[in-house]
Each structure stands twice: as structure tokens, then as C-alpha cells.
Amino acid sequence: MNPFKFELSHRDASTEARRGVFLTPHGPVQTPAFMPVGTQGTVKGVTIDQVAATGAEMILGNTYHLTLRPGHETVRKLGGLHAMSGWQGPILTDSGGFQIFSLDAITKVDEQAATFRSHIDGAIVRLTPEHSIEIQEALGSDVAMVLDHVIALPATQPEVLAAMERTIRWAKRCLDAATREDQARFAIVQGGLDETLRVQCANELSQMDFNGYAVGGLSVGEAPEEMYRITAATCPALPPHKPRYLMGVGRPIDLLESVARGIDLFDCVMPTRNGRNGLAFTDQGHLKLRNAIHREDTRPLEDHCPCLACRHSRGYLRHLFVAGEMLGPILLSIHNLTYYQRIMAGAREAIEQDQFAEYLQQKKTGWGM
């Protein structure tokens, strides 16, 4: 019996937004949902209990980073990623495909594999689709992503086509290599900024028996409008009864605009990365806490936010950053993660009430867009 199921409960009346639940062996995920990024088995600067308190139900880990350290066999011996990290909810692991893009200068790709030099010690790492699945099965995540070929944009049409076709072939190899029945597999649609190639890729992957489908290779420097255009073109070509995941996105506005186009799952380092650098997301736009204007401000970041940071004043939070106290980045990371969960909870409620378009406009107005 397949332990994974995606149940759609409602479609918004005026947009493509979907309300659902993704059922996994480690619990349900209410969608649309945002997954905090725990690349190396931890969401940076935040304990597992604090991550759960933000409202997150599912987190992300990374195959490439975890196989370098502590090593996937070490993770297996520690009981898998759930036991090692202490996170008992669902976990999705990225396949290492993004590193083909981000480490392009030290990566070579051929039909069999992507070959890297470790960013830690320069050791050669050869990642085939089969090995990517082997690693993810050792990690024990609930969702394993296929290894895909991500290329930098802009690229020539032949380059985009070749990477897309390789992604399809690699997806089949990943599916053939999989052995765990308690681990879902998600395919990844590539095709650059070409709508025709994206639809072709989505159609071919949809013929394979995946538990879900991701839109990859976006949020890599293209204009937001281009990302929205490709997402809108791709989603209708994906199976309606499977979850759709937009990888590595993004700003709060990107999440909501993509929900409106039919996306169910998201991940991004933005909440914690910005939190560590003194930027807080709010319904009135972002606040740069290091700015002197906040020095004597007694207000919280947001009046109705339940997070730990909002128990303190903006002035105190600014002080923590100016003084170099580690508590500042921790508190702002918690606030930003909570904020992302709040906007997704609001999105789910708005979809149920057929008011998602109004919700999106309300948020954009608050953000000054």
C-alpha cells in the first residue's frame, strides 16, 4: 500500500490556487506549504523545537552536503535524518542537482553523472542518478528528489534542450534505482524559459509513476515575471492529483504569485539568511534592523505575530545586532520563518473561502507593490 497520498480539498474560484494535504509516513502537510531549509541537517541557528513552533510541518535537507559531511552512511548509522536531527515531521531531500548549477566552475556533467570537486577539501565526488537515490535512501527522507541537470540562464536553445532531455533520462534512472516503499520520489521539470520545452518535459515525466512533480531551474537570476510565466505554463501540464513543488523560491510575493498559478510546495533559505543579516519580513514590507531609526523604537516587529522575537522591541533587536550578540540572528530567523508560515496559513484560508485573489492583493498593498 502506498503510504503517500495527495488530497485536494478545494480550488480557488478565481485563480489556480489549490488547497490540499500531502500525507506522508511522518505526518500530513497542509498545502500550500513552505518548507524551511535544513541543508546540513539543521535549519541554521534555530532548534528543531523552535522550527516546529513557527508552524512548519516539513523541512528540507540536501543530498550533496550531507554526503560530504557527516556522510550518508554515518547518517544511516545514526538512525537516519529524522533521528539524527530530532525532526519527527516529514523531510524532503534535494538530489544535489542544484549544485550542478551553483558549483558550475568545479563541475563536469556527462550522460552518466555529474562530477564535482568537494567545496570542503577538493575531493572528487561522482554523483550518478542511482547514487543520488542511494544516498537519499540512506538519509531516510520522506521525499527524494530525482537528480536533474540544472543549467545557468540565459543559455542557448540546444543547451537548454540537452539539459532537459538528460533530466528526463536521469529521472527514469532514479525511478528504476529506488527500493524504499516508504520514500516518495518527485520528478523535476526543466526547460529553461522556453514554455514549449517545459510542457514537453512535464508531459514526458507525467508518464512515469512519480509521487509528485517539481518545477526546477528557476529563481536563478531571471526576472520574477519570467518565473511566473513559466510556472503558469508548466502547472497545467502536470498531473492534477499530485503535489507541485517550486524549488528554491523565494520572496513572500513569489510564494503567493506562484500559489495563484497552481503551486503547492516551496522552500527557500531566504527567511533564515535574511534573518541572520538583520532583515525582518512583515506585512508592511521588510525592516532593516541595523538602521538607526529603530534605536529607540519600543514596538515589536509586528503587533499580532506570536513569535519569540515579537516579545521584544525593535530597539532591543537592533541592539543585539549592533552588539554582535548571536541572539539577534536567532530571533530574526525565528520571526521570518514564522512570517512565512503565517502567510501560507492565510493563503490556505483564503483559498477555502474563494478569496485568494483578494488576499494576494491585500498583501501586495501592504508590501507597497
Q: Whole-prediction pTM value?
A: 0.96
Q: Does 194 participate in catalysis according to the annotation?
A: no
Which residue in this structure is represented by grid cell 534573518?
A: 275
Q: Please give the pLDDT value at position 105.
A: 65
Cβ burial 13-52 (10 Å sphere, 16+ → b, else e): eebbbbbbbbebebebbbbbbbbbbbeebbbbbbebebbb
Q: How many CB atoms lie within 10 A of CB 357?
A: 15
Look at residue 199 and tell me whether its pLDDT is greater than 90.
Answer: yes
Q: Which position has the grid cell 520520489? A: 185
Count of beta carbons in the 10 Å neighbourhood of residue 214: 30
> Partners of 61 in the beta sheet?
93
Indicate whether 145 pLDDT > 80: yes
Residue 183, strand partner residues? none
pLDDT in tens, 91-136: 999 987 777 667 676 678 899 998 888 888 888 889 999 999 999 9
Assess contact for 264 and 244: CB atoms under 8 A.
yes
Q: Hunting for cell 531566504 — which residue is that?
A: 270
What pLDDT score does 124 carry? 86
State the virtual CA torsion across 124, 189, 61, 126 in degrees, nearest 10: -10
What single DSSP character describes residue 314?
A: H
**Would you say residue 152 has pLDDT above 90?**
no
The whole-number pLDDT of residue 139 equals 98
User: Domains along the chain?
Assistant: 5-266 (3.20.20.105), 269-369 (no CATH)
Mean per-residue pLDDT over the chain, rounded:
96
Instruction: State the catalytic residue, choosing from 94, 142, 148, 254.
Output: 94
Instruction: Determine whether 94 is an active site residue.
Output: yes
Per-residue model confidence (pLDDT) at position 106: 66
The amino acid present at 145, given as its one-letter code, is M
Q: Which of 12, 142, 264, 267 is catalytic?
A: 267
Average pLDDT on 323-348 reads 98
Cis amide leading into 28 (omega within 30): no
146 DSSP 8-state letter:
P
Contact 315, 297 (CB under 8 A): yes
Over range 72-90, report the average pLDDT.
98
- Are 196 and 226 in contact by the 8 Å Cβ rule? The answer is no
From the list 351, 180, 190, the residue with the least C-alpha distance to 264 is 351
Taking only the tens place, the pLDDT of each residue in 275-329 is 999 999 999 999 999 999 999 999 999 999 999 999 999 999 999 999 999 999 9
Contacts (Cβ under 8 Å, ≥6 apart) of 207: none
pLDDT in tens, 243-263: 999 999 999 999 999 999 999
7 SS3 class: strand
Model pLDDT for residues 15-30, shown as the tens digit of each residue = 999 999 999 999 999 9
pLDDT bin (cut points 50, 70, 90) of residue 273 is very high
Query: Between 108 and 10, where is the model more confident?
Result: 10
Helix (H, G, I), strand (E, B) or coil at 6: strand
